[in-house]
């Protein structure tokens, strides 16, 4: 994941000290929570800080059984063997859970978080939104990803999304003009955040009206743009006649027997921000990962079509194939999922500041990690995270 980042000198050095106690971290408000002094606490309180919609759990919780616990895991990165504590300290890891064959084999919390904390997804929510499209297709409310989005959201006919296929938007290849730069004061992404989340001066449908077509046609180039997911969110709302929170509750939260309610941050009109900020327990994110690892099957019932899971995680056009997204970057992309090269066909959801939901179906392995990195995205830490995932994959493969 390559994003423009802040270049603050304060980010240069990390002390490998023990995590501070929870009460040492002050929480911010809707303006300050993204600032460095407030992030650690605020990332456990996003659902309280911003307007948010409840994702209701059901009355029955599906247990996550425990398997043999993995102790003393080490990993190799840049030629050195390292302890997990090394990573936890510099990445400020708030949660890490590993499921092998549906059983919890490792679980860790830090920086004030625990098993009941509602940890923010950041852009991992994009992958949840993608799943909702799969459910809507199964329900018949969306016919095909080849349909133009304006067949379902005619209000977008006056925007850059006019006649753009749903598939191109899912692949972040619509060709609309967008600058995703969290450090710039006047980029499209910061304007969206300020107007829609912080100040409630525009709703998501209103903001979508400002999106214009660029010179590159649909499918011409991958461009990471959070507005794409918000267009998809509007599609799901229009097609199903339901809020994203209600549809997520109906299709995933209740059937999977989630442990806790979740919240989905929204604009001031109650429209969920499809690109961000689903706030849930670590174990519940892991349950969703397990659904994907099992190709949409849950306790003997096919909830999400296996065909959709395969299609959503297999890059099928040139511009999103592994190694094609950015120079020197090995990952591919499909329907709001980042896809690894290699025969395992592993894939992951990603969120800024180090949020990961990793799924390796061939190994029946699911890993969810939440962090509070000190910059929006750090390429070196991303690579180190994958080294940790590889270590868990190797450890769980041992007889």
Q: Residue-wise pLDDT tens for the chain (399 aa)?
A: 654 332 332 232 233 334 445 457 899 999 999 999 999 999 999 999 999 999 999 999 999 999 999 989 999 999 999 999 999 999 999 999 999 999 999 999 999 999 999 999 999 999 999 999 999 999 999 999 999 999 999 999 999 999 999 999 999 999 999 999 988 778 999 999 999 999 999 999 999 999 999 999 999 999 999 999 999 999 999 999 999 999 999 999 999 999 999 999 999 999 999 999 999 999 999 999 999 999 999 999 999 999 999 999 999 999 999 999 999 999 999 999 999 999 999 999 999 999 999 999 999 999 999 999 999 999 999 999 999 999 999 999 876
Is residue 327 exposed (0-12), middle (13-18) or buried (19+ Cβ within 10 Å)? exposed
Query: 341 CB contacts (<8 Å, ≥6 apart)?
Result: 322, 323, 330, 331, 332
Query: What's the pLDDT score for residue 352?
Result: 97
Please report how many Cα atoms fall inside a 13 Å half-sphere around the Cα of residue 299, on the Cβ side: 10
Query: What's the pLDDT score for residue 14?
Result: 31
| Structure tokens belonging to residue 55 | 């994702």
Query: What's the pLDDT score for residue 184?
Result: 79
Contact 108, 336 (CB under 8 A): no
Contact 278, 55 (CB under 8 A): yes
Identify the bridge partners of residue 120 per DSSP, sorted by sequence position.
279
CB atoms within 10 A of CB 295: 16
Contact 140, 152 (CB under 8 A): no
CATH class of 9-397: alpha beta
Q: CA-CA distance, 365 to 25, in Å (whole number)?
A: 33
């Amino acid at each position: 994941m390559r994003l423009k980042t802040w270049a603050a000198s304060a980010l240069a050095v990390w002390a490998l000290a023990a995590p501070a106690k929870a009460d040492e971290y002050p929480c911010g408000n809707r303006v300050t929570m993204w600032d460095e002094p407030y992030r650690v606490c605020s990332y456990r309180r996003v659902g309280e800080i911003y307007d948010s919609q409840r994702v209701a759990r059901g009355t029955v919780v599906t247990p996550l059984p425990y398997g043999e616990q993995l102790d003393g895991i080490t990993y190799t990165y840049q030629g050195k063997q390292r302890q997990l504590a090394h990573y936890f300290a510099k990445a400020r890891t708030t949660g890490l859970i590993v499921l092998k064959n549906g059983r919890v084999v490792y679980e860790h919390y830090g920086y004030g978080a625990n098993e009941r904390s509602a940890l923010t997804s950041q852009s991992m929510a994009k992958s949840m939104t993608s799943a909702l499209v799969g459910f809507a297709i199964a329900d018949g409310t969306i016919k095909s990803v080849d349909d133009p989005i304006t067949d379902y959201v005619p209000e977008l006919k006056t925007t850059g999304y006019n006649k753009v296929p749903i598939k191109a938007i899912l692949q972040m290849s619509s060709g609309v003009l967008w600058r995703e730069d969290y450090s710039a004061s006047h980029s499209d992404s910061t304007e969206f955040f300020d107007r829609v989340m912080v100040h409630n001066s525009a709703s998501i449908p209103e903001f979508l009206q400002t999106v214009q077509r660029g010179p590159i046609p649909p499918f011409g180039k991958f461009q990471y743009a959070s507005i794409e997911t918000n267009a998809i969110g509007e599609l799901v709302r229009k097609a199903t006649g339901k809020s994203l929170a209600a549809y997520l509750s109906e299709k995933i939260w209740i059937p999977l027997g989630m442990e806790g309610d979740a919240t989905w941050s929204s604009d001031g009109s109650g429209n969920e921000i499809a690109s961000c900020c689903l706030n849930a327990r670590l174990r519940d994110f892991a349950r969703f990962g397990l659904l994907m690892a099992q190709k949409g099957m849950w306790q003997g019932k096919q909830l999400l079509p296996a065909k959709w899971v395969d299609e959503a995680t297999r890059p099928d056009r040139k511009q999103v194939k592994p190694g094609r997204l950015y120079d020197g970057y090995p990952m591919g992309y499909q329907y709001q999922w980042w896809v690894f090269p290699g025969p395992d066909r592993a894939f992951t959801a990603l969120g800024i500041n180090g949020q990961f939901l990793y799924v390796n179906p061939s190994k029946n392995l699911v890993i969810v990690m939440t962090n509070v990195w000190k910059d929006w995205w750090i390429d070196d830490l991303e690579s180190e995270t994958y080294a940790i995932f590889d270590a868990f994959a190797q450890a769980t493969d041992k007889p």
